[in-house]
Amino acid sequence: MRHLIAILISVFLIPGTHSQGSNSGQPPNYPGNRAPLTGKTYIELPVGAIRPQGWLKEQLNRMRTGMTGHLDSIYPQVAGQRNGWLGGDGDVWERGPYWIDGLLPLAYIMNDAELKKKVQPWIEWTLASQKPNGYFGPDTDREPEEGLQRNNAHDWWPKMVMLKVMQQYYSATGDKRIIPFMTKYFNYQLKELPNHPLGNWTFWGEQRGGDNLMMVYWLYNITGDPFLLELGELIHKQTFNWTDVFLHQDHLSRQHSLHCVNLGQGFKEPVIYFQQNQNPELLEAVKKAVRDMRNTIGLPIGLWAGDELLRFGNPVQGSELCTAVEMMYSLESIL
């Protein structure tokens, strides 16, 4: 365990020597920021670059042999062959991509051939689903069926999850198909978002647009395509205004004002956008949100109370695991 901690410390202390201006000379699957994006302090290493040992390896192994590694057999109704992200007539929304979003890094971090084999059909179907205009994913809404999410196939939100899957896949493998795939999709977004904004089908895409924005900047740092910065501005404009919520509104002092997981995901958006627009208010908004949470919805565990909607920090109230995971990701993303 001590060796693992030492490795992690060394990783996080790597100076962002490539974080300013051009990223020429950098390995393509973990770039720093290109100008005009502001420099990063730290640069993420590729998925699988660090192998776990000790306690951490044991925890990941339990995931590998437990529910995460076998959700397709434990919950075949959603994670099995009927899933729309495998071409089936079942779920077309977020649940399949969410599973692969966790399974893929687990497979490559543990270097597990069986898990990689489970991941690959989702990657291949998604790549093959892309239309000439750049759209990808399920495209057919079907009649309701108990236990399944068979509508809102065109919603922007589940695409955001799958974009993160594809980004991680590229990070782990360097598969050259991913870059043109994402480039085509982002061109599609630039053309379609003015008429079909992030909140067109559901409010989830609007409130979680920061996840989309992260992938746009990631691709820009690899290709340098100027249209991606234009798209970044558009996505930020259409995303729920977390900066204003944190600075000027009272959502964090009112019960039921926000979805607790959306808050965890939205928490990072002002800092992500700060890379393109260095307005100090963007950083101050997140700092103020942290201060305000401590006096309203916050719990000693570092999260807020909430079961779907926000609750005040009463000891009898719990907090969702989804919130914990998304807040961890937000904090990692804004380092």
Same domain assignment for residues 89 and 178: yes
Range 69-87 average pLDDT? 98
Picking from 192, 224, 240, the residue at the C-terminal end of a domain is 240
Same domain, residue pair 236 and 287:
no
Could you tell me how many residues make up the chain?
Answer: 335
> What is the tens place of the pLDDT at every residue in 113-124?
999 999 999 999
Q: 226-239, pLDDT tens digit by residue?
A: 999 999 999 999 99
Are both 299 and 217 inside the same structural domain?
A: no
- Can you tell me whether residue 297 is helix, strand or coil? coil
Using the 3D structure, point to which of 222, 240, 258 is the last residue of a domain. 240
Specify whether 98 is located in the same domain as 233.
Answer: yes
Provide the pLDDT confidence category of residue 10 given band limits of 50, 70 and 90.
very low
**For 172-184, what is each residue's pLDDT tens digit?**
999 999 999 999 9
215 and 103 inside one domain: yes
Residue whose tokens read 């030492």: 6
Give yes or no for residue 9 having a pLDDT over 60.
no
Calpha distance 271→326 (Å, rounded): 15
Confidence band (pLDDT; 50, 70, 90) for 31? confident
Mean pLDDT of the chain: 92
Q: Containing domain of residue 255, as a range?
A: 242-335
Beta-carbon contacts of residue 137 (< 8 Å; ≥ 6 apart): 84, 85, 92, 126, 129, 153, 158, 159, 162
Place of tokens 């059909």: 121
- 176, 208, 240: which is the final residue of a domain? 240
> pTM of this prediction?
0.91
What is the distance in angstroms between the CA of the first residue and the CA of the last residue of the chain? 23
Which tens digits make up the pLDDT trace of 276-312? 999 999 999 999 999 999 888 888 888 998 889 998 8
Per-residue confidence (pLDDT) for residue 295, from 0 to 100? 86
Which helix or strand (DSSP H or E) is residue 248 part of? helix 242-248
Helices (H), 50-177: 54-65, 67-74, 76-79, 95-109, 113-129, 156-173
In this prediction, what percent of the chain has a pLDDT beyond 70?
91
Nearest to 209 by CA among 181, 183, 234, 180: 234
